Structure formats: structure tokens, C-alpha cells
A and B are shown apart, each in its own frame.
Chain A
Amino acid sequence: MKKVLVLGATSAIAQATVRLLAARGASLYLTGRNAANLEAVTKDAATRGSAKVESQVVDLNDFNSHEGLVEAAYTALGGLDGVVLAHGVLGDQAEAQRSWEATEAVLRTNFLSAVSLLTVLANRFEAQKAGTLVVISSVAGDRGRQSNYVYGASKGALNVFLQGLRNRLAKSNVAVVTVKPGFVDTPMTAHLPKNKLFASPEKVARGLLSAADARKNEVYVPGIWAIIMLIIRTIPETVFKRMKL
């Protein structure tokens, strides 16, 4: 990935990824909602060695902006060969259970906006017969649990969408990489008590980029989550539904 669009560049994992890409001298087009924060990430990337960095303040929940955004990224970098889709919200499960609006907001950001963006991007990449689409999903999408199934559903739906997209784009030499981080120590999880399973954003970013370089399909980062989720997925539903997870 030499010319990369990073969506949601101010998120902790995206920032760490941006740094690694910058150190490799990649050209970057970054988006974020908060102008000051986006500028901080942009300047950091420029200082760390990005060949070129441009940015755009945009709320990705505005689906009408997606065509224009992708077009702007192509123009600014003179083409694109990589996308890191990193925007997303955790939401509040209790709130979502009380209100459809709260549920819808999570689905809109994590699933629908991603689908809208990937529709535009996939068509471009399919036509140019090259590129890597990296999407940050979550282990929460592997199985619905009472503690966060709305967030989990948004990621689970995304995973299925990506499977289909991967299947479709395989013949066009376009890689679709689903990255499933476990617990990550970020501002999004700042309120949670930390344990050994929490990984740093840097560690996740390294895993993400090596998966992208190797054009992997689905990866768990850190790898230990492949085993944990294998166990969680194999628990029979009759048992699972009685568990407090």
C-alpha cells in the first residue's frame, strides 16, 4: 500500500497504522470528524516521513459525501491502492436496548456507512484490477452476546458483507482483509478495567499491516483471539444462551 485512504484516522488503531505507513513513506489521505484532532494526526504523519499527506474533515454518516470523498482522495494522491477503514463506534448496549434510535446509530456508522463507502471503493478497485481494502471489524462480530450484541451485530453483518466482497473481487486481484482485534487499550475502552488480553494500538496496527502486506483474508490481532473465538464459537447455543457473557 503506497497510496492509502484512511477513514476514521483519529481513532487509536488508525493513528498507530498511519504512523507505520508514514514511516514507510506512503502517501496518505486521512479523514476524521474533528478538525483539530485530524490536523494533529496529519502533521504527525507528515513529520514521520509520509511522502504526502492530505486530509478532509468529514462525518462518514453523511452517505452523500462518499462519492466526492473517494474522488478527492484519488485526485489528491494521484490514485489509490489501499484503504484502511477504521471508523466505528462502540455504542451503549443498555441504551440500544431501550431505543431503536441508539441501535440504528450504531448500525449506521459501523455497517451502513462502511457498506456505502466500500461500494464506491470496490468498484474503483475492481476496475483498476489492483488494491487492498483493509477493514477493521471486531471479534464481537463472531458471536452475539448479551453484553454487546448490537455492536456485535453491526460487525457481524460487516464480516459477511466483506466475505462476499472478497469472493467477488478475488478474480480482479483486489484483496479484502478483515481485521478482528480483541480488546484494545484505546480511549474507546478507557472506562473498562484492563487485563492481560488488552493489546496496545501499536501491536494491533503492526498485525493489521502485516496482514495487509500478505493480503490475508481474515485475521485476528493479536493471534491468540483466533483460539479464544474458536472456543467461543463452538459452545452449543443451548449452553451459550444461559451463559453470562
Chain B
Amino acid sequence: MKAWESWGRYPQVEQQAHTLVWRTDGLPSKDGSVLPHGLGRSYGDSCLNAGGTLLLTSGLDRFIAFDPATGVVRCEAGVSLDTILRLAAPRGWFLPVTPGTKFVTVGGAIANDVHGKNHHRGGTFGRFVRRFELLRSDGSRRVCAPDENPDWYGATIGGLGLTGLVTWAEVQLKPISNPYVLQETVPFGNLDGFLEVARASEKDYEFTMAWVDCLARGKKLGRGLLYRGNFAPPQFDGLPLAKSHLSHGVGLAVPMDMPAFCLNRLSVSAFNWLYYHRQNGKPKQRLTHYDPFFYPLDAIYAWNRIYGRRGFLQFQCVVPYSTARDALKEILERSSRGGLPSFLSVLKTFGDIPSPGWLSFPREGVTLAMDFANRGEKTWKLVEDLDRLTRQAGGAVYPAKDARMSPENFAAYFPQRERFMPYVDPSFSSSFWRRVNPVSLPFSLAAERGASAAPPPQSLLAIR
């Protein structure tokens, strides 16, 4: 047994690992439960399996086919999005949906049904998964597609790795004429400003997302910069690529765990102030390579180490438009008051395109992601409050970024949980799954949902 951590570096758990090598091999017979594991870019415990075994998919990294005429790529589940881009981008194809890091696997992208900056146009990653093979612990293999084993397809997309192992998948890419993005940065003075410019941008821009200054308060609460862009049209073809654009990230690295004092209220607020003001309040346009546009954080390898040994908690919620303004105001106010303010906070809008995945997180509304250095009780109390505010607003919290949501909240956020249950493989489990599904739930789900405005009966601090 060895100590493992995910991207947020919290929690650290003891578990075994088994490396998968060939997609035709069976699953190992192990005592206890197993859980597929991609590149561990989930923040909390949904990609960990304390006391059990992780099925490392790093060996399942082969391509099976790529058709440059149609942009359909078929590959094993451990192939990373980075690897796909290296193959496809020079041939004029791009990922239909990509998260903010390219160091995630196809299997991980399916299991969390990841979203990108184009949710309002494209929906989630799962919508572009044409088919995949699901291997269960009973040895059965199913090809799943919208019209073939559709229930397994719906359960596995966003299914948190619990329905079995995805061995390979087929994904529809989308055409681009060159690797450039025409980007515009628009400052907004507060939350209302964000909602206005974000909605207005959706019509003409495929990609939108905003950075928010988490320390601004009062009238400036929720101020920030909105980034919007589209892939550049053919007139930009053939531009010489800057060297930095060919390195595909991983330029700098954080060499060691940073001591806790480097990140404090002062340094975070200085960073936020400078970041906001380097714009001088005016919109700015530029042509950029897709790498820095989509994956700015990938340029600093292992940036999670700036949070030190104790790690950090991510919090990403989505709230419907009807409640968004008030709920986000409260959430931002609460987080700027309590604990250490979030270093990087991101706001974005989700459109109404439904996902085929039953447990998929994205839904129409506004999503806010923040990370908080783990300072113990204080931080936990804060995030617990944010959870409550999200639930009162009829929203949901993203399991891929969570290490602490309560069973009650999980059930409230994911009403399709009941339908999903029978599809969980009896040999598969995760730390997250056991946490949000204690053996017997101490409450009636139906009653809970009716009374969702009430705070959770059990303190998270008690169950963690």
C-alpha cells in the first residue's frame, strides 16, 4: 500500500494500484474494490479508492483509428487529450470540448463528462462520444452508443468510473482551419456586469469564460475579466508558430512544495489587483495559439504544489439563472470574508444543451469555481456554507472537484442518482462514492428534496 493523492492533494489515502496493459486483458482479481484512474486530474476523492485498488489506465494509451476526412478518432481510454491534439490539430481537427487542462484521459473525460469554455454552444464531452466499450468485473464487454446499450451509455457518461472500465472510445472531433484563436478580453466591474457581458457574448463567441477577483467587495463584488474567442478563420493559416507554442506546455515547473506563508491574504490580493488592472479597463484583442488560450495552467507543471503539503479544496458549483445573481453574490461575499481567498476563481455560463449522461454535472445556469488552501476547520466551514448556498439556490456541486460534499447534498444535486444505482459495478467503488453513499442513508430522500432549503442535518465536520 502506498499513499496517493489527487490534484487537490487532499485527501491522501492508502491504496494499491494495478497497471492495465492491454485492452483485451481481463480485470485483475483483487480483494476489495477497484476504481479506474486516469491522470488523477480530479481534485478530490472521486479518483481515489482508499483501502482498495486503482486500475491505472496509463498503459491503455494506443490509438486504434483516426479518419482525417471525418475527424473521428478511436483510441484506448488512457490516451490523453494532449496526445489527441498532437495527432489531430496538425491535420485540422480539434477537441469538440476540452477542460482547462489537456492532461486528462479520454476515460476520465467520459467519467466526469467534462465541460469546456463552449458549453453554451457544444454542451459536454459526452455528447461527442460516439461509442465506447465497457468492461465489467463479471468479464462482460459491451459496446455502448446512443443506439446500442443506451442505458449503459447514459449511466457511464458522467458515471464517475463506477459502472465499469471504459477500455476504448470513439470521439467526434471538430474541424479547425488553423491552431489560432482570436481572443478578446473584456473587463467587467461587478457581478451584474459579468452576467450582461457573458450573455451578450454567447451569440458571437464559441468560447467564453471569466476570471473573477475574489477579493473585490461592495460595488465591485464579482469584478473581473471575460475572455471570449473563436478559432481563427482561414486567412490566418500558415502563420509561423512561436517556439513557445510548440512545446505544448510544461515550461516551468513548481519544483517543491511551497511553504504556507507564500500564499497569504496579502499575496493573493496583490495578485488579483495586478491581474485586474493590467487591462486598464479596456477591451483588448489578440491572436493566440490554442495552447495558452485553453490551457494557461498547463504551462506551469505541478502548480498544485504552490498550496503546499496540506493541499487545497476546490469548489465548483452551478446555479440556475433564476437564482444566480443573489446566490453568487452571497457565495462571493462569503468567500471573500472567510478563510483564505481563492487565488484563481472562474465564472462561466452553461447553456441548455442536455448531456446524454445521467449524472452529468453541467446544467443551464452560471458556474463558479474557486480553490481554497486547506487551512483546516476554517476552510471546511466556509466550503460547507458555500455548499448550503448552492443547494438553496437549486444548484449543484461538481464531484470531480470535491473532497467533502455530504450525502444529503449529493442526493439533492443529482436527482438521477436512484436511476444510476443499479448500473454501479458491484466490484467498483471510490472514496467519493462511499462518502456520499453511507451504507444506509439516515434520511428519506424524498422528504429531503422537498425541504432542500434546510441546512444539512449532519455537520460535514463530523463525518469527514
Contact = CB atoms under 8 A, between A and B. Distances in A.
Interface of A: 36-37, 40-41, 43-44, 47-48, 187, 190
B62 interface: yes
Interface in B1-49: 19, 21-24
A37 B87 contact: no
A36, A40, A48, A187, most chain B CB atoms within 10 A: A40
B22 A44 contact: no
Given A36-B24, A37-B24, A47 B19 contact: no
Interface string B40-78: 000000000000000000010011111000000001100
Nearest to B19: A190
Interface in B97-145: none
10 contacts: A37-B22, A40-B22, A40-B24, A43-B62, A47-B66, A47-B87, A48-B63, A187-B21, A187-B59, A190-B19
Contact of B65 (A47, A187, A190): A47
B19 A40 contact: no
Contact of B63 (A36, A37, A47, A190): A47
Interface string B301-318: 000000000000000000
Nearest to B79: A44
Nearest to B83: A48
Contacts of A190: 19
Contacts of B24: 36-37, 40
Contacts of A40: 22-24, 62, 64, 76
Looking at chain A's contact residues, the main secondary structure is: helix
B64 A47 contact: yes
Interface in B282-325: none
A20 B303 CA distance: 29
Given A36-B22, A37-B24, A44-B62, 8 more contacts: A37-B22, A40-B23, A40-B24, A40-B62, A43-B63, A43-B65, A44-B64, A187-B19
A199 to B, nearest CB: 15
Nearest to B66: A47
A41 B62 contact: yes
Nearest to B67: A47
A44 B62 CA distance: 5
A7 B107 CA distance: 31
A48 B76 CA distance: 14
A44 B74 CA distance: 10
B63 A44 contact: yes
A41, A47, A187, most chain B CB atoms within 10 A: A47
Nearest to B61: A44
B21, B23, B75, most chain A CB atoms within 10 A: B21
User: 7 tightest CB-CB pairs across the interface, nearest first?
Assistant: A47-B63, A44-B62, A36-B24, A47-B66, A44-B63, A43-B64, A187-B21
B23, B63, B76, B87, most chain A CB atoms within 10 A: B63
Contacts of A187: 19, 21, 59
Nearest to B59: A187
B87 A48 contact: yes
A44 B75 CA distance: 8
Contacts of B66: 47
Contacts of A44: 62-64
A36 B65 CA distance: 15
A44 B22 CA distance: 12
Contacts of B76: 40
A245 B66 CA distance: 48
A5 B89 CA distance: 29
B86 to A, nearest CB: 9
Contacts of B63: 43-44, 47-48
Contacts of B21: 187
A119 to B, nearest CB: 32
Contacts of B65: 43, 47
Contacts of B75: 47
A235 B335 CA distance: 64
A90 to B, nearest CB: 15
A21 B363 CA distance: 44
A16 to B, nearest CB: 10
Contacts of B64: 40, 43-44, 47
A48 B132 CA distance: 20
B22, B75, B87, most chain A CB atoms within 10 A: B22
Nearest to B76: A40
A47 to B, nearest CB: 4
A41 B21 CA distance: 12
A41 B24 CA distance: 12
B164 to A, nearest CB: 19
A150 B66 CA distance: 44
A187 B75 CA distance: 21
A217 to B, nearest CB: 32
Interface string B329-343: 000000000000000
Nearest to B24: A36
B396 to A, nearest CB: 37
Nearest to B63: A47
Contacts of B62: 40-41, 43-44
A58 B23 CA distance: 21
Contacts of B23: 40
Contacts of B87: 47-48
Contacts of A41: 62
A8 B63 CA distance: 19
Contacts of A48: 63, 87
A187 B20 CA distance: 9
A36 B24 CA distance: 7
A215 to B, nearest CB: 28
A48 B87 CA distance: 7
Contacts of B59: 187
A43 B62 CA distance: 8
A32 B65 CA distance: 20
A58 B281 CA distance: 68
Interface string B258-282: 0000000000000000000000000
A49 to B, nearest CB: 8
B62, B64, B87, most chain A CB atoms within 10 A: B62
